[in-house]
């Protein structure tokens, strides 16, 4: 990159040339820088990477992770962590499939899925806020309980969900963008507005920054904890709808990759695991980066065993870079 | 648990007949297989088919092929013979699924242990029964996949004589007929 790069938004009063020499600037934009660098490398290696079709496919593949990562961002911004996010999604998907296989209307089935996931999120929030148990332990417990419940309800078997509505959700497009991409985009925009343009967002970040001080200032910190976990649960339910639509079935699969990738996307996006600071655009780009990385490696035919190694290296490098955040 | 043995068996059976161009890991997961197959179909437009180590991944690949508008042009064979896979075969989507017979495999295992107990030499390796269901051979519902092989008094000694009860109208090739002879990867 040269000093003549003007594509990066300027918010500070310093001249761009000064800011580009500041390592903190690069740290703040780690995910974006990583995504651009990766795109250039993959495009040189295989021109198929930046074709319209491949970019569309990547966005569709990333939609579920984006929705989960946004929910995870809310939780992590309050210095918590939602380890149950993927299992909660699985439970929502299984409930959707359960209702659908009993002849429920598809809208009701989807609502039941979101409700089930939301209830798990609410339970997380109540246990953390009122039960005074560490976030990590509570969500570790619900991770296991929700995936177990999904196995019980589904009897361990996948169910086909034949629905024209879900099929259209998975394959329909507006211009170049799939419906699922638009859903993820709307979620991200609403989350950004909620976090940075409302009192709720200010209270949320205050809770994450310093819970005791926030409480002394009159912020309902318990309410904030309950709210963020419920949001994460509801978004996991929404992700469940996207997942069932994508594969055409509801599976009691563990989906652990979604959990790890949602945390990785949030970290890549420069959100502090200690709470109090973060963005929505960061984790969204982080999710795109992780998806693009696996996509590019697959297009290149890189051996299956090297792919997780590459993902791990990228996540740790990005985390190293975020240490230099201002 | 990895799919190593299933992949090795497949590679051995098709070596010299098919070119295997790429192997990807999808962790037995339908969604991951869908994503990976979407990428592979884009990178290799001339691809003839996929082999998946379980039916869940096979069904994800089927979906990717449909999304890419290549239904019927790219073949998919997977392993297990779960209900959804057999239905998919019936609908002409999944090309074929290879089913094993856990009942008989368990029986053979116990026979081997019993043989050890009375100091009989048990064979180190013995092929268990399997069957492939495909569209051409089965036109009815999935219920027709054969049940466990009938009980044999000594399955190990009689392994060569193992027969699979063949129900009328089933689409099942008996073991040890090759499962993927005409499918190209």
Task: Give the C-alpha separation, A93 to A249, whole Å.
Answer: 9
Question: Residue A26: how many CB atoms within 10 A of its CB?
Answer: 18
Beta strands in chain A (DSSP E): 159-160, 173-174, 177-178, 249-250
| Residue A271 DSSP SS3 | coil
Task: Give the C-alpha separation, B153 to B98, whole Å.
Answer: 26
Which residues, listed in sequence order, are joined to residue B77 by a DSSP beta bridge? B51, B96
* Assigned token pair, A159: 């169910």
Chain B residue numbers touching A305 (CB-CB < 8 A): 25
Q: Which helix (H) or strand (E) holds B98?
A: strand B96-100
Task: Give the C-alpha separation, A88 to A86, whole Å.
Answer: 5
Q: How many helices and strands, by DSSP H and E, does chain A display?
A: 15, 4
Rounded to two decimals, what is the model's pTM? 0.84
Pick from A142-156, A162-176, B75-89, B154-168 the range whose average pLDDT is largest.
A142-156
- In tens, the pLDDT along B13-25 reads 998 899 999 999 8
Instruction: Tell me if A80 sits within 8 A of A128, measured CB to CB.
Output: yes
For residue B119, the model assigns a pLDDT of 67
Concatenated DSSP letters of A75-108: HHHTT---TTHHHHHHHHHHHHHHHHHTT--HHH
* Assigned token pair, A169: 């959700």
For residue B136, the model assigns a pLDDT of 58
* Assigned token pair, A112: 């039941």
Closest residue by Cα to residue A214 from A196, A197, A202, A227? A202
Angle between helices A52-77 and A256-268 (to 10 degrees): 80
CB neighbour burial string for A98-130, b if at least 16 within 10 angstroms, e if fewer: bbbeeeeebeebbbbbbebbbbbbbbbbbbbbe
Q: CA nearest B69 in A: which residue? A: A171
* Assigned token pair, B14: 């098709």
Task: Give the C-alpha separation, B12 to B4, whole Å.
Answer: 12
Pick B67's closest partner by Cβ from A171, A249, A299. Answer: A171
For residue A28, the model assigns a pLDDT of 75
Question: Which of B42, B56, B83, B87 is the best mutation test for A, with the most CBs of A within 10 A?
Answer: B42
Chain B residue numbers touching A303 (CB-CB < 8 A): 23
Kindly calculate the radius of gyration of chain B based on its CA atoms and give it in whole angstroms: 18
- For chain B, give the longest Cα–Cα distance: 59
Instruction: Tell me if A183 sits within 8 A of A176, measured CB to CB.
Output: no
**Which residues of chain A are at the B interface, by a Cβ-Cβ cutoff of 8 Å?**
46, 48, 51, 53-54, 57, 61, 64, 157-158, 160, 171, 243, 246-249, 251, 253, 255, 257, 294-295, 298-301, 303-305, 307
ipTM above 0.90, yes or no: no
Instruction: Tell me if B7 sits within 8 A of A10, measured CB to CB.
Output: no
Band of the pLDDT at B157, cuts 50, 70, 90?
very low
* Assigned token pair, A154: 């589904």
| Residue A73 DSSP SS3 | helix
Beta strands in chain B (DSSP E): 49-51, 75-79, 96-100, 130-134, 172-173
Question: Is residue B68 predicted with pLDDT exceeding 50?
Answer: yes
Q: CA nearest A242 in B: which residue? A: B31
Average pLDDT, chain B: 73
* Assigned token pair, B31: 């969604």
For residue A295, the model assigns a pLDDT of 94
Given a cut of 50, the residues of chain A with pLDDT beneath it are 1-10
Q: What is the mean pLDDT of residues B72-79?
A: 93
Distance from CA of B154 to the nearest CA of A (A): 33
Question: Which of B35, B80, B88 is the best mutation test for A, with the most CBs of A within 10 A?
Answer: B35
Chain B residue numbers touching A53 (CB-CB < 8 A): 42
Q: Is B56 in Cβ contact with A305 (below 8 Å)?
A: no
Exposure of B101 in the CB half-sphere (CA atoms within 13 A): 28
Closest residue by Cα to residue B64 from B26, B7, B96? B26
Chain B residue numbers touching A255 (CB-CB < 8 A): 29, 31
Chain A residue numbers touching B82 (CB-CB < 8 A): 157-158
Distance from CA of A299 to the nearest CA of B (A): 5
Distance from CA of B56 to the nearest CA of A (A): 9
For residue A16, the model assigns a pLDDT of 72
Closest residue by Cα to residue A94 from A106, A112, A82, A119? A112
Question: Is residue B117 predicted with pLDDT exceeding 70?
Answer: yes
């Amino acid at each position: 990159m040269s000093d003549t790069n003007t594509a990066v938004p300027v918010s500070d009063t310093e001249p761009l040339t000064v800011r580009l020499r500041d390592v903190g600037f690069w740290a703040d934009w780690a995910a974006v820088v990583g995504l651009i660098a990766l795109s250039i490398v993959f495009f040189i290696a295989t021109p198929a990477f930046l074709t319209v079709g491949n970019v569309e496919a990547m966005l569709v593949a990333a939609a579920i992770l984006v929705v989960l990562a946004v929910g995870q961002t809310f939780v992590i911004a309050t210095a918590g962590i939602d380890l149950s996010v993927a299992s909660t999604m699985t439970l929502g998907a299984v409930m959707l499939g359960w209702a659908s296989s009993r002849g429920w209307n598809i809208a009701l089935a989807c609502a039941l899925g979101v409700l089930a996931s939301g209830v798990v999120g609410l339970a997380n929030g109540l246990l953390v806020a009122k039960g005074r148990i560490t976030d990590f332990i509570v969500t570790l417990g619900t991770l296991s309980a929700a995936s177990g419940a999904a196995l019980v309800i589904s009897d361990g078997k996948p169910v086909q969900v034949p629905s024209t509505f879900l099929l259209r959700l998975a394959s329909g497009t507006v211009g170049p963008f799939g419906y699922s991409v638009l859903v993820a985009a709307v979620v991200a925009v609403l989350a950004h507005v909620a976090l940075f343009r409302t009192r709720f967002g200010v209270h949320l970040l205050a809770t994450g920054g310093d819970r005791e001080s926030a409480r002394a200032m009159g912020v309902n910190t318990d309410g904030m904890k309950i709210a963020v976990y419920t949001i994460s649960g509801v978004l996991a339910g929404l992700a469940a709808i996207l997942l069932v639509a994508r594969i055409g079935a509801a599976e009691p699969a563990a989906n652990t990759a979604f959990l790890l990738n949602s945390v990785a996307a949030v970290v890549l996006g420069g959100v502090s695991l200690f709470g109090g600071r973060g963005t929505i655009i960061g984790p969204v780009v982080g999710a795109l980066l992780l998806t693009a990385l696996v996509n590019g490696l697959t297009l290149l035919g890189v051996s299956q065993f090297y792919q997780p190694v590459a993902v791990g290296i990228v996540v740790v490098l990005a985390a190293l870079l975020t240490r230099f955040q201002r | 648990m990895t799919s190593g043995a299933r992949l090795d068996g497949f590679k051995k059976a098709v070596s010299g007949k098919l070119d295997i161009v790429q192997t990807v890991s999808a962790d037995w997961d339908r969604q991951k297989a869908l994503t990976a197959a979407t990428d592979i179909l884009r990178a290799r437009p001339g691809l003839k088919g996929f082999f998946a180590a379980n039916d869940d991944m096979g069904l994800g690949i089927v979906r990717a092929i449909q999304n890419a508008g290549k239904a019927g042009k790219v073949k998919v064979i997977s392993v297990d013979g779960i209900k959804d896979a057999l239905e998919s075969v019936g609908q002409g989507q999944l090309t074929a699924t290879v089913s094993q017979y856990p009942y008989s495999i368990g029986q053979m295992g116990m026979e081997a242990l019993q043989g050890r107990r009375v100091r009989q030499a048990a064979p180190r390796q013995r092929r268990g029964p399997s069957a492939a269901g495909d569209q051409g051979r089965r036109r009815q519902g999935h219920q027709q996949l054969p049940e466990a092989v009938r009980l044999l008094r000594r399955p190990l000694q009689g392994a060569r004589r193992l027969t699979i009860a063949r129900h009328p109208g089933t689409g099942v090739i008996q073991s040890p007929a090759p499962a993927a002879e005409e499918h190209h990867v």
